[in-house]
């Protein structure tokens, strides 16, 4: 039976990190926050001698998201960008970067998306052309978490034209490499998002992750583990929003009665609570499928988990703001912060529409 201990530990840590998070600038990397997460041993869990369980990752993200979305995102993005290096890098590359990830000294990014290739990731156009034993990368990556301030990126580029997903290779690219130009983006999401322009950036042969032309194996290995945890992040935000709404409904009176006694309010909150419970079951079922090696059902379960949880979080925040009324719209309120945070997870790591496509495909294959 799944324990909630790690969720509660992560929630307590998140509460302690709120002042560190608030000291940062929205939309920019907060290295003090990353260092604090490292000091608490959170990156030791991600980059330890043994692979972290997907269920553990979900619990960490859910607990942190209840109280400090900035800490949750800093943890998740470091894991997303660093895991391919941790799991697939050469000995020299792992020795250079993994200890720095664990200590918080180096920040990682997962550079898959391009201006013209988001959900259709097999349509990547960034070129990786042979140069001796290495490659030169030319193109652009955009909407990358931790960009452009990350120290190193896992970058996916096309090594074989016309081969779709089978012609992509994964590379380790330090961001101080010659020919790399940072791109800064001003997004409504509070966490850092940007990109890089690559102009013949040289990548040495020992900086190839996995096998040439099989970079999507590297990408899917990482995304399969992290996609359920996006749902866990969403659950944490939904729980935070619901808690605020319930407390307000109990204490706030209108027409001589607490808001909680009006069915128009209480039934909406009941629906949100039910949706959160359903999302939690879906998220941890997907995590358990990953941890047990059940790859046949994982894809469909992960898609259902991410879709249901992120849509539920959007609903929870919207309902909570409606219950609080004008108070929920105050710019410095927790709900206003959640309103900005909750929108992006319905897009990144596969939009809600893509998740429905995956679920339908797996359904007709008889896998779910």
- Can you tell me the mean pLDDT for 222-251? 96
What's the chain's average pLDDT? 95
Alpha carbons 333 and 74: distance in angstroms, whole number: 21
- Report strand pairing: 253-254 vs 257-258: antiparallel
How far does the chain reach from its first CA to its final CA, in angstroms?
A: 23
Query: Residue 88's closest CA among 21, 156, 18, 33?
Result: 156
Ranges of CATH 1.10.540.10 domains, the chain = 5-103
Residue written as token pair 């991410």:
306
- The predicted pLDDT at position 189 comes to 83
Q: Above 60 in pLDDT, residue 2? A: no
Residue written as token pair 């929870």:
316
By the 8 A CB rule, do 152 and 175 touch? yes
pLDDT digits (tens, 9 = 90+) for 241-288: 999 999 999 999 899 999 999 999 999 999 999 999 999 999 999 999
Inter-axis angle of helices 69-88 and 54-65, nearest 10:
160
Ranges of CATH 1.20.140.10 domains, the chain = 222-365
Banded pLDDT at 294 (limits 50, 70, 90)? very high
Banded pLDDT at 368 (limits 50, 70, 90)? confident
Q: What percent of the chain has pLDDT over 90?
A: 89
Tokens at 58, concatenated:
């979900």
Q: Above 60 in pLDDT, residue 66? A: yes
- The predicted pLDDT at position 367 comes to 83
- In the residue annotation, 253 being an active-site residue is answered as no
Fold (topology level) of 108-216: Butyryl-CoA Dehydrogenase, subunit A; domain 2 (2.40.110)
- Cross-strand pairs, 138: 127, 199
Q: Report in angstroms the alpha-carbon separations of 104 from 36, 91, 100, 209.
A: 8, 20, 6, 22
- The predicted pLDDT at position 119 comes to 74
Alpha carbons 112 and 84: distance in angstroms, whole number: 12
SS3 203: strand
What is the CATH code for 222-365? Answer: 1.20.140.10
Q: Above 50 in pLDDT, residue 328? A: yes
By the 8 A CB rule, do 361 and 312 touch? no
Dihedral, CA atoms, 270, 273, 278, 282, nearest 10 degrees? 160
Which entry of 140, 280, 349, 362 is annotated as an active-site residue? 349
- Can you tell me the mean pLDDT for 139-143? 97
- Can you tell me the mean pLDDT for 179-201? 94
Alpha carbons 131 and 110: distance in angstroms, whole number: 24
Q: Above 90 in pLDDT, residue 114? A: yes
* Of the listed ranges 17-26, 49-58, 94-103, the one predicted with least confidence: 49-58
CATH class of 5-103: mainly alpha
Banded pLDDT at 3 (limits 50, 70, 90)? low
pLDDT digits (tens, 9 = 90+) for 148-161: 999 999 999 999 99
- The predicted pLDDT at position 112 comes to 96
> CB-based contacts of 261: which residues, under 8 Å, 6+ apart?
none
């Amino acid at each position: 039976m799944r324990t909630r201990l790690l969720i509660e530990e992560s929630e307590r840590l998140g509460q302690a990190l709120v002042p560190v998070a608030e000291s940062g600038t929205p939309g920019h990397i907060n290295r003090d926050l990353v260092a604090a997460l490292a000091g608490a041993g959170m990156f030791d869990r991600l980059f330890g001698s043994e692979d972290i369980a997907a269920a553990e990752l979900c619990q960490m993200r859910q607990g942190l998201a209840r109280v400090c979305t900035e800490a949750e995102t800093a943890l998740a993005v470091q894991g997303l960008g660093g895991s391919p290096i941790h799991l697939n890098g050469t000995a020299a590359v792992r020795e250079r970067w993994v200890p720095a990830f664990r200590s918080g000294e180096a920040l990682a990014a997962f550079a898959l998306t391009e201006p013209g290739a988001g959900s259709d990731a097999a349509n990547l156009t960034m070129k990786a052309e042979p140069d001796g034993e290495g490659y030169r990368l030319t193109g652009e990556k955009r909407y990358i978490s931790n960009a452009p301030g990350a120290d190193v990126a896992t970058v996916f580029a096309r090594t074989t034209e016309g081969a779709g997903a089978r012609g992509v290779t994964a590379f380790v690219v330090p961001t101080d490499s010659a020919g790399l130009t940072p791109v800064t983006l001003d997004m409504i999401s509070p966490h850092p998002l940007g990109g890089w322009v690559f102009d013949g950036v040289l990548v040495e042969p020992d900086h190839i992750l996995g096998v040439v032309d099989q970079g999507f194996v590297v990408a899917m290995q990482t995304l399969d583990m992290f996609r359920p945890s996006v749902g866990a992040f969403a659950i944490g935000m939904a729980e935070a929003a619901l808690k605020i709404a319930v407390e307000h409904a109990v204490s706030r009176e209108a027409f001589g009665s607490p808001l909680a006694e009006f069915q128009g309010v209480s039934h909406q909150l009941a629906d949100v609570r039910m949706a959160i419970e359903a999302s939690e079951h879906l998220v941890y079922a997907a995590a358990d499928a990953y941890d047990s090696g059940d790859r046949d059902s994982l894809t469909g379960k992960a898609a259902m988990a991410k879709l249901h949880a992120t849509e539920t979080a959007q609903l929870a925040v919207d309902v909570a703001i409606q219950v609080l009324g004008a108070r929920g719209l105050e710019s410095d309120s927790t709900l206003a912060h959640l309103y900005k945070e909750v929108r992006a997870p319905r897009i990144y790591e596969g939009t809600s529409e893509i998740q429905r496509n995956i679920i339908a495909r797996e359904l007709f294959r008889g896998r779910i």
